């Protein structure tokens, strides 16, 4: 086996095994949420590209930093599936189909949607915090970004890609996605790129907390076993046996 093949096996072997080991008999049900997300995104794109549907989609799915917080939180779940008007819709559909599909097979439906929502919400909240900080702070944003419409699945896609990469040992892939988002911020200096970095930060924090939670009970059990004697009973302190009356 050649060097690139060995590297690919080490990088994506666990992830490939997880995808391949999914129940094959489920068919489309294994990616039901992904297919529903693709259909919903296509439907919302069709509606907002028509005069009769543009205003409706903006009212129910467009998020801006200048909006009241309760309204932004109410629109955030649907804003994930409203593709940006200045980007080709086939790109958004391809991202959802590939990344959401792999994540749903590996993580399950609920966790996939939860990670996608956390990533999208992190970007939305960062936009509000950045505008409040102002352009003269390191993490601040100019006031004009408060009027930018914030929609699309890109933050969720980036967050899911990094989460799956960290969870299944594809660390180079997760690092490459993060580096690409950093380059986007450096070259374009736009709101979307900064929101992507906020989504990656939130997902990395979730991964770290999840890993710590998995290790803590195991470490505690090992410590208990190390203090236990034969048969799993706790060893007594050294000294003479207790005298019975």
Could you tell me the CATH number of the domain that includes residue 134? 1.20.1540.10
- DSSP symbol at 50: S
The answer to whether residue 12 is domain-embedded is no
pTM: 0.83
Q: Which domain holds residue 99?
A: 26-213
Question: So what's the pLDDT on residue 234?
Answer: 45
The answer to whether residue 231 is domain-embedded is no
The answer to whether residue 161 is domain-embedded is yes
What does each C-alpha distance from 106 to 127, 177, 209, 218 come to in angstroms? 30, 19, 19, 23
The answer to whether residue 90 is domain-embedded is yes
The answer to whether residue 190 is domain-embedded is yes
The answer to whether residue 58 is domain-embedded is yes
Percent of the chain with pLDDT strictly greater than 90: 60
Radius of gyration for the alpha carbons in the chain, expressed in angstroms and rounded: 24
The answer to whether residue 240 is domain-embedded is no
Instruction: Break the chain down into helix, strand, coil percent, rounded to 5.
Output: 75, 0, 25
Separation of alpha carbons 61 and 214, rounded Å:
36
For 177-214, what is each residue's pLDDT tens digit?
A: 999 999 999 998 888 999 999 999 999 999 988 888 87
Cα 38 versus chain centre, distance? 17
Query: Which residues neighbour 199 within 8 Å (Cβ) at sequence distance 6 or greater?
Result: 119, 120, 122, 123, 155, 156, 158, 159
Res. 245 pLDDT band, cuts 50 70 90: very low
Task: Let me know: does 125 contact 162? Beta carbons within 8 Å.
Answer: no
Total domains in the fold of the chain: 1
Burial class (CB in 10 A: 0-12, 13-18, 19+), 240: exposed
List the alpha helices (DSSP H) in 62-108.
69-79, 89-95, 101-107
Using the Cα atoms of residue 133, residue 135, residue 140 and residue 144 in order, give the sign of their dihedral: positive
Question: So what's the pLDDT on residue 210?
Answer: 84
- The maximal CA–CA distance of the chain, rounded, in angstroms, is 95
For 149-182, what is each residue's pLDDT tens digit?
A: 888 999 999 999 999 999 998 999 999 999 999 9
The answer to whether residue 220 is domain-embedded is no
Question: How high is the mean pLDDT of the chain?
Answer: 85
């Amino acid at each position: 086996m050649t060097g690139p093949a060995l590297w690919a096996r080490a990088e994506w072997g666990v992830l490939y095994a997880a995808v391949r080991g999914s129940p094959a008999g489920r068919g489309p049900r294994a990616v039901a949420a992904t297919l529903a997300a693709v259909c919903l995104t296509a439907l919302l794109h069709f509606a907002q590209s028509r005069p009769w549907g543009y205003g409706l989609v903006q009212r129910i799915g467009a998020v801006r930093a200048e909006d009241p917080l309760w309204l932004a939180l109410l629109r955030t779940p649907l804003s994930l599936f409203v593709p940006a008007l200045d980007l080709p819709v086939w790109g958004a559909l391809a991202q959802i189909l590939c990344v959401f599909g792999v994540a749903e097979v590996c993580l399950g439906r609920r966790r996939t949607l939860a990670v996608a929502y956390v990533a999208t919400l992190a970007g939305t909240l960062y936009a509000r915090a950045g505008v409040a900080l102002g352009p003269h702070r390191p993490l601040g944003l100019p006031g004009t970004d408060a009027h930018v419409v914030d929609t699309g699945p890109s933050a969720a896609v980036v967050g899911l890609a990094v989460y799956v990469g960290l969870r299944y040992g594809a660390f180079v892939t997760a690092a490459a996605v993060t580096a690409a988002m950093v380059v986007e911020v450096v070259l374009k200096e736009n709101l979307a790129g900064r929101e992507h970095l906020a989504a990656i930060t939130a997902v990395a924090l979730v991964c770290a907390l999840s890993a710590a939670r998995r290790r803590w009970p195991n470490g505690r059990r090992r410590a208990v076993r190390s203090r236990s004697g034969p048969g799993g009973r706790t060893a007594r302190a050294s000294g003479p046996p207790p005298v019975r009356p």
